[in-house]
Every structure is written in structure tokens, then in C-alpha cells.
Structure 1
Amino acid sequence: MKIIFSPSKEMREENIFENKKIEFTESPFKDKTNILIDILRQKSIEEIESIMKLKADLLTKTYKDIQNYDKLKYIPAISMYYGVSFKELELEAYSEKSLKYLKDKLFILSALYGFLQAFDLVKKYRLDMTMSIVDKGLYNFWKKEINEYISKSLTEDEVLLNLASGEFSKLIDTKKINMINLDFKEEKDGTYKSVSTYSKKARGKFLNYLVKNQIDSLEEIEKINLDGYALNKDLSNSKNLIFTRKNF
């Protein structure tokens, strides 16, 4: 089993593994990343404002980071991303086994880097899949390479567990890759609905649980009861595991 995960807009320039014996790796599609950086560098600050919908200090900082990309600090992906989901990961408490699980199992999808493993070295950036900077869009730019890479990483009967958002899981060609979706819904007054912030936290909590407990099968996942969430068999099917909890 392998796991896909979304990146986050919130990032930090802190390598919490700097003093640990961990082998850091290069992102596999650096050439394509450099193409995107070169495209962004050619944009004026007004064009960046229009593309990324940024204002004031954040716009100025983002524009400067793009222009000075070569000087930015390399950070392992799992330490750099610091959004809601990633804050649920107890990274500094992980054992060697847990860190190896992260290294072997976790795939982070990215608009700038395409595909990342946990300890691939990356630089902070701001880019979403929906931003128009290349002909035919970023989905078309990345889809072939990402699916080929993931397909080669999976054994014949191995599944890809989707803990990513819809924005990124759309990259996966489910005709070629056996992907199982995990989704989280809140029950109130007999109805179920997804709440973005709660879903992000749940993805992080579930990934943290998988890592700490070395979970490697769907059977084990189906038994998880965490933070009030449990598998809802009535809402689930062979491709979608829906976890629900009451009264959010």
C-alpha cells in the first residue's frame, strides 16, 4: 500500500531532521520544476498578482521568492509543509520504523514539483493546480509523469490510498491505478456532509495513525476508530471508505 497526500499553502523553512541520520533525496522531476520556475520568473509582479490572486506584502514576498528561487533553502518536503493536515503529524516523536514507513509509503502531490516523497528536498513556493501558467494547464503538464512514476512504484496487487484533496487526487488515472479513497463526513440531524477544515485535520490524524502503527492493509484501515471517526459501511463501497462521526 502507498498513500497520496496533498501539499499545503502554509510552509516553513525549518528542517526538523537536520541532526538525524536520514538520507535526503532529490525530487524526481527537477527539470519540469525548473521549466515552471522559469515561466514564473518571466512574469511581472502584476501578472503574478492576477494569476495567484495575491495582494500587498504576500504578493511582494511571493514575487521576490520566485525571482530569488535559486537562493532559497532546501527543506525535506515532510518538514516544509506545515498546513492543517501536516500539523497533526508527530514528526519529532517518530521512531526509525515510522520514518522508514513515511519514506517508503508517502507520496505528496505538488503543482510545482509534481510528485514528492517525504524526504525529497524542496524549496518553499506558492502554486496551485488551478493556476494558469502553462498551455493546457498544470493537470495536463503533470499527469503523464506522475501516473507513470506511481505505477512503477506499486506492485501488481498494491493499492494507492487516497488521503489527498480532490484538487490533487484528480491527477491520478484510476483506469491504470487501483486507488481507494478515504473520505471524512460529519453527521448532524441524520445527514452527512464534508467540512473542509475537519477533513484536513482528519487526513492528518489518519496519516499519523497509519505511520505510527505501520498500517499496510485495507482490512486494518477499516477497523480504525479515531477522533470519533469510524467506518460507515452504509456509505462506503469497494472504492470509497467513508468515515463518519456524530455531532460536529
Structure 2
Amino acid sequence: MVLYLLIITIKKANMLIVISPSKTQDFSKSFESKTHTIPVFLKESQELITILKTYKLTDLLHLLKVNKSLAELNYKRIKNWNILHPEKKSKTAVLAFKGGAFKNLKAHTFTTSDFEFSSLHIRILSGLYGLLRPLDYIMPHRLEMGTNISNFYGKNLYKFWNEKITFELNRIAKENNFKTLINLASGEYFKAINTKSIDIKVVNITFMQQQNGAYKVLGVFSKKARGKMVNFIVKNRIIELSELKLFNNDGYVFNPKLSSEQEMVYTR
């Protein structure tokens, strides 16, 4: 009997993409993925929660820079946060976040293979969780990366997360032979990465609108465009940096004149 070995080569993207989380979250179970994963830095998250539990309500109001109602909500969230992340109180990150970027990312349309692709190539930066895979379980929270919370490593979350996140990104890149880190995060969150210590090429993505004869970056529109680009990458299985130039959505097109080796600019 002759045995034939069929080898199927699956093209794997050589890019790792980082995006920002959102303050707006939805923990209803209207749509959920079939599987979930556990955040890499849960012990570190517990450290931060332990610190936050020492804050009085009035202190939390000033720390988070929110009104009394939101301070009370997040005070309860901190008290109820559980490192075990029980299923009834948790949700996968990419489906829980509901800000402008995530509404346009449209994770609720993802197939099982879409989720698998995104889990390998996309990471969500987080003030509480550090670095999340799309299917990582999270609990309701509000802790922006720019928060000045004193901890063992310094006076803010950048000091707390910088080395940890950078090390993990390098580990992922090495393990998967990724060549490029694509920055689709905001400036506030991308600062949590020590780019001088990143072992692979970093490429920033910028979206600009033409106003009064000049191109400008407008935050609200940029958030939406970032989400649309992530959807484009996942749905089309974009595997090469050059293929990102094909992104043409919501009027945005790649602008080679404004772009460089370190930055890809899209204008409309």
C-alpha cells in the first residue's frame, strides 16, 4: 500500500498589530465567541486592583478624572473584580469594547477562522491588563494607560507596564517569526511600548483628513479608520506590509508622498 502525504502550506502574516482599548464597554451576552483565552498578565492586573482597592471613592474620582456617577460605578467594579474571571461576569475583549474603533472593527461578524487569525496577529493594549489577545476574558473596568497611579515601578502605568509589554511583544514576534509591528493604537497607549527595545521594525499608521487645503489628524475619524483597517486585515488575511497599501475604505487611500519607511499615511 502506498501512502501519500499531502502537505498544505498556510500563508502566515509576518505582522503583529497593536490597537487601543475603549472606555465604552458592553458586557451583555447578545453575541459571544465559542471559545475564550486567559490574559497573560493576570497577576499584574491583580497587583493594580489591590492598589486601587486602597483608594476611597473621592480619591478614585480624581484619579480617573470622572464624575461622581462614574466614580461610584468603577469603585464597585474594582471591589467586584475577580482574578478567576467567572464566565457570567466576563466577556472576550474584542467583543466587550464598544468604542469608535471597535464598532468599525465589527468583531461580531467574525467567523471562527477570523477569530483564530486575529488572536495570532492582534493585541489590545490595556491600562489594567497590559496586553490582551482578542479572545482574552476581561471584566468591566476603567483604567486608562495615562493614569498616574503610584506602584512599585514608578508613579504611573507606563512605568508599570513598559518593560512587561515590550518583552511580551518581542517574545511573540520571535516565536512567530513576525517582522513588523503595526501601530494602530493611539499615542497614549503606544507610549506603553519601549520602541527602542523592540526587536522588529515598527510602522505607524496615520489617517488624515483634508481641511482648508491641508491634511490634519482628527481623533474621532482616526479611531473609526483604525477599526476599519483591522477588519480589512482580518477579513482579507493581509500578510504583507505592502498589502496594507490596498486599504481603501471610507474614502481613505494610501498616500505615498506623505508616507515613509516608518509611517504609512492614508488621506481623504
Q: TM-score range by the shorter chain?
A: over 0.9
* Paired position in structure 2 for 1:31: 43
Which residue type is aligned with residue 73 of structure 2? K
Bigger mean CA deviation after superposition, 196-205 or 66-75: 66-75
* Dislocated runs of 4+, deviation >6 Å: none
Q: Distance in 2 between matches of 1:203 and 1:27?
A: 23
Q: Conserved in 2, the CA contact under 8 Å of 1:183 and 1:242?
A: yes
| Secondary structure at 1:154 match in 2 | helix
Q: 2:104 aligns with which of 75, 85, 88?
A: 88
Q: Conserved in 2, the CA contact under 8 Å of 1:162 and 1:181?
A: yes
Bigger mean CA deviation after superposition, 107-116 or 47-56: 47-56
Q: Distance in 1 between matches of 2:29 and 2:43?
A: 24
Residues 136 and 56 of structure 1: CA distance in aligned 2, closer, same or farther (over 3 Å): closer
Map 1:223-242 to 2 at 5 A: 223-242=246-265
| Secondary structure at 1:107 match in 2 | strand
Fraction of identical pairs, as percent: 35
| Secondary structure at 2:70 match in 1 | helix
Q: Distance in 1 between matches of 2:37 and 2:107?
A: 18
* Paired position in structure 1 for 2:63: 51
Q: Distance in 2 between matches of 1:21 and 1:14?
A: 15
Q: Distance in 2 between matches of 1:90 and 1:132?
A: 32
Q: Conserved in 1, the CA contact under 8 Å of 2:105 and 2:229?
A: no
Q: Is 1:111 paired with 2:127?
A: yes
Which residue type is aligned with residue 137 of structure 2? L
User: What is the count of residue pairs matched by the alignment?
Assistant: 243
* Paired position in structure 2 for 1:14: 28
Q: 1:180 aligns with which of 200, 203, 210?
A: 203
RMSD between aligned residues = 1.6
| Secondary structure at 2:137 match in 1 | strand
Q: Conserved in 1, the CA contact under 8 Å of 2:39 and 2:132?
A: yes
Q: 1:125 aligns with which of 141, 147, 150?
A: 141
Q: Distance in 2 between matches of 1:96 and 1:55?
A: 39
Residues 175 and 132 of structure 1: CA distance in aligned 2, closer, same or farther (over 3 Å): closer
What 5-or-longer segments of structure 1 have no aligned partner? none
Q: Is 1:212 paired with 2:235?
A: yes
Highest CA radius of gyration, 1 or 2? 2
Bigger mean CA deviation after superposition, 80-89 or 54-63: 54-63
Give a deviation string over 1:162-200, Cα, whole Å, max 9, x none.
Answer: 110001111222223221110100012320101110000
TM-score (normalizing by structure 1): 0.93
- Tell me the CA shift for residue 157 of structure 1: 5.4
TM-score (normalizing by structure 2): 0.86
Q: Distance in 2 between matches of 1:15 and 1:159?
A: 35
Give a deviation string over 1:134-156, Cα, whole Å, max 9, x none.
Answer: 23311010011111111011145
